[in-house]
Structure 1
Amino acid sequence: MMPTTLSLPSGLHAQLFNHLFPGDGLEAAGILLCSRVPGPRQRFLARELLPVPYEACGRRTATRLTWPGEYIEQAIERAQGDELALFLVHSHPSGYPNFSPLDDDSDAQIMPSIFEAYGARHGTAVMLPDGRMLARLYSTEGAAVPIDMVSVASDDLHFWWQDIIDTPCSRPVAFTSAMTRELSRLTACVVGASGTGSIVAEQVCRLGFGRVILIDHDHVEEKNLNRILNTVRSDAVEKRLKVEVLAQRANQYRDSSYIKAVGANLLTREAILAAAEADILFSCVDTHRGRSVADRLATAFLLPLFDVGVAIPTREATGGRAIAEVIGRIDYVQPGKSTLFDRGVYTAASLQAEALAESDPVAHREQVDAGYIDGIPEQAPAVISLNMRAASACVMEFIARAYPFRHESNAGYARTQFMLAEGLEEHVAESEFPSRMMPDLANGAKEPLLGLPILKATKRGA
């Protein structure tokens, strides 16, 4: 079963922590307003914090807290327009890693009045002094169900599991079977199933992700058999969808199917809503528009984004052109921090130029195929070794964030770029990139999806 999760952007988590632990050792409270992800999986995305002022609380001690209902009324008023869920959060300064009997009694009094005023699924949560959180969800009948995991994507990826929250040092060590066991509880989405995408997909499948979502609308062609893993000539002859081929082969690794193959363009409702069910997003696309959509996905659905790209620029040389450099780039994007757009991976001008090229599909396909080696048109570039290097670095970046093993802080590795001709590897810190206000942060499935009119729901929901 896919876990029920509550996700917070790192900035909001820090804001909540600073309010709940002001340094006086007393409990404090706030209310998270959360959007929901539609579909079979329950994901709640924290969009806004309504802090309860300390002076408004009738009683604050190290183990008890009372506060006026007017703040719940304010939260309901803000939430109703977008049908947001409320999570009432308070601190446990003592570090008690569970809901206390006092919490149970308080919820039994408060939750029915919330449901009476605003009929939606709501919950409560507790934050511990080290920032860990646990949460539970209430039904309208008053039954409480634990939220399986609370997650925060910051310089490190934090996954706080309800069933092991009482063990502070419960994070698995990188590259161990304990890491594999935790990955079996997570869902990865890989967008793009070609050169780098098929290799990323192979890794996340072999690493043991419990569920893998593959998104790509293209079919296998003979000219790309030299760089798409798990494809054979018959796949090209039959023009099979890349995602279906990869899913069929990878599903044979295990006793039961675990891959969802989405044979659709990323800029469709089907693809967006499928990706929204994931915990991690890997972008392995070869277009600027694809990266812009991945950017929006990460922002709206609070998905940590790992984007990989390769390039082989050339130079003029005697007798023709020669390789100037062999480049691989991996960007890690935290929801709410600098985006791929902020980092110049794509621009408004590049999106416009690409849109014009797409008006001529043949020319655009040739442009994409020639994109590996600048200045040398090549229909079947022999780049699988480069793709493997870059794809491996992309997945390793995820492992370094989820199961930190670097001697330095992950904050210094927002971008990694290697140049094989010069034998260099460079790293850029998150602080070196500009960032903007993001009004779409944690908007979830608010219409139109991703703020794009083209994705607006029709009467048929298509």
Structure 2
Amino acid sequence: MSEAVDALARRHLLRADRQEDLCFALWHPSTGQTRTTAVVELLILPREGERNVHGNASFESHYFTRALSEAAQAGAGLALMHSHPGGMAWQGMSPDDINTEQGHAAAAYGATRLPFVGLTMAGDGAWSARFWERTAPRQYARRDCATVRVVGERLRTTFMEALAPVPHGTEAQIRTISAWGKKKQADLARLRVGIIGAGSVGAFIAEGMARTGIEDITVIDFDRIEIKNLDRLLYAKRGNVGALKATALADHLGECATGARFDALPVVAAVYEEVGFCAALDCDVLFSCVDRPWGRHVLNLIAYAHLIPVIDGGISVRTNRHEELAAADWRAHTVTVGHQCMQCMGQYDAGLVQLEREGYLDDPTYIQGLEKGHPLKARENVFAFSMACASLQTLQMLAMVLDPLGRSNPGKQLYHFVGSFMEPSEHGKCSPECLSSIAARGDHCGFEVTGAPPANRDPVVKKLPTETPSLFQRISRALKHLFIG
């Protein structure tokens, strides 16, 4: 859920008199390859006489009927939130809690065709959650979620340790853990991080994540390694020429990771293809390391509709008429609800998305016809500049998760190599007509952003079969990752 929804729930559920309270909420599904997330959009607060607070809170039937009607009209699922003000961290369920949620699961499913979701807020603001899934006619079973994520200025995650156990720190992580402590390291290590683009910037970020102790990394890229990549791909050697970037990088990460239970999943697809899109929805944080408008357009939607933070960046290099370096700039920013989106900050041109879908951006004739200096003609991923841009993006992610001294949002950062200075950080806002209407709508956002790759995409990769997880990987990931956020 967003920080705004979380804040409203705190104000309502954590009462000054320390009694329990409750409310309903609307949620939308976000369906990945191996996990389903309930994205909580808004609360349906009780009116006078709709609930009773008497130590243990209860609700009247007409409150449930009203909430159910609103969920059905919105095409959303229904969730019940209640508080355990005396508890801390992930909360278990009392027999009364179970009877209440299970007893209303059939009506909720019948009206919405989606599972009834239950959420509990502890006194410290930690969430726990579960789906009530239909297993047979009139039978509903509880399925606990592995995590609950609150997304905004920072990323705050509550873990169910039975499904997402605390990772064991390793000897290789001693220096890392000493910087921010075991608890923050455990929060970091249990995130699933997606690297969208296994090029020069993505390679630096992915290796940084693996060495920091992240135990679950997904690499999404459709391309192959070429000779011209060797001056900037950290993981590539001459023997890798011709290999798939996603697979080669995932193999490399396995050799340098410090986590005790490390898993790197290569997905040979673009994020705008269905398999790549669904793999991205399985992640908690995404790094945008793409340089084309369609990929950024997809990630922009994911950041808002599915509430998955996207750490984006970019490099711009300019030479003068003597072919001397005149400017080299790189930027980084976090894209999520409450932050400015990539389109509004000018990271991609929406008008070029359809051109890419139709294959024009892979047409040499079209590219050659563009004016000199057009961004689509740029070839700017110089090793040193990519390393610096990756560093800024990595620090943006760490600030969001670690929240050092309560300063989790660095804002938009822009560094100028020529002149050696960083511009003051900016915190821009989107226009009201931008993506606010689809925030937290998940699969129900109403936009179809995926599609087949352009017909004239490089034939060396165009006809490659997409690699998918093994049966064992799919089962283990499905057991680990049923989320709400």
* TM-score, structure 1 as length reference: 0.80
Change (3 A) 1:244 1:364: farther
Amino acid at match of 1:89: M
1:242 aligns with 2:245: yes
Corresponding residue for residue 314 of structure 2: 309
433-442 or 67-76: which moved more? 433-442
Q: 1:242-321 residue pairs with structure 2 within 5 A?
A: 242-253=245-256, 258-316=263-321, 320-321=322-323
Per-residue deviation, 1:341: 1.2
Change (3 A) 1:15 1:431: farther
Is this contact kept in 2: 1:357–1:363, CA < 8 A? no
1:118 aligns with 2:109: yes
Q: 1:28-67 residue pairs with structure 2 within 5 A?
A: 28-38=21-31, 39-53=33-47, 55-61=48-54, 63-67=55-59
Change (3 A) 1:392 1:50: same
Corresponding residue for residue 442 of structure 2: 444
Per-residue deviation, 1:178: 4.8
Q: CA deviation digits over 1:411-454, x for unaligned, max 9? A: 4x221111122221134343555454523223323486x43374
Distance 2:154 2:131 in 1: 26
Distance 1:384 1:427 in 2: 25
Amino acid at match of 1:161: F
Give the match's secondary structure for 2:198. coil
Match of 1:206 among 178, 198, 211: 211
Corresponding residue for residue 127 of structure 2: 133
Amino acid at match of 1:393: L
Distance 1:437 1:24 in 2: 39
Amino acid at match of 1:37: S
Change (3 A) 1:15 1:342: farther
Corresponding residue for residue 417 of structure 1: 414
Distance 1:218 1:144 in 2: 42
Per-residue deviation, 1:111: 2.3
Per-residue deviation, 1:81: 7.0
Corresponding residue for residue 77 of structure 1: 69
Corresponding residue for residue 400 of structure 1: 399
Distance 1:14 1:256 in 2: 34
The aligned length equals: 428
Distance 2:248 2:207 in 1: 12
Change (3 A) 1:394 1:437: closer
Distance 1:51 1:329 in 2: 41
Q: CA deviation digits over 1:344-393, x for unaligned, max 9? A: 2223345467668825522577799x98x989x887x6711111111012
Distance 1:282 1:25 in 2: 41
Amino acid at match of 1:386: F
1:15 aligns with 2:8: yes
Match of 2:199 among 170, 184, 194: 194
Change (3 A) 1:408 1:187: closer
127-136 or 263-272: which moved more? 127-136
Distance 1:58 1:247 in 2: 52
Distance 1:417 1:47 in 2: 33
Is this contact kept in 1: 2:105–2:115, CA < 8 A? no
Corresponding residue for residue 362 of structure 1: 364
Per-residue deviation, 1:42: 3.4
Corresponding residue for residue 228 of structure 2: 223
* TM-score, structure 2 as length reference: 0.77
Per-residue deviation, 1:78: 4.0
Distance 1:216 1:364 in 2: 24
Per-residue deviation, 1:192: 0.8
Distance 1:58 1:382 in 2: 59
Q: Which runs of 5+ in 2 are unaligned?
A: 165-176, 453-485
Amino acid at match of 2:65: E
Amino acid at match of 1:105: D
Per-residue deviation, 1:21: 4.5
Q: Which runs of 5+ in 1 are unaligned?
A: 1-7, 166-171, 456-462
Is this contact kept in 2: 1:288–1:354, CA < 8 A? yes
Corresponding residue for residue 5 of structure 1: none
Is this contact kept in 2: 1:226–1:382, CA < 8 A? no
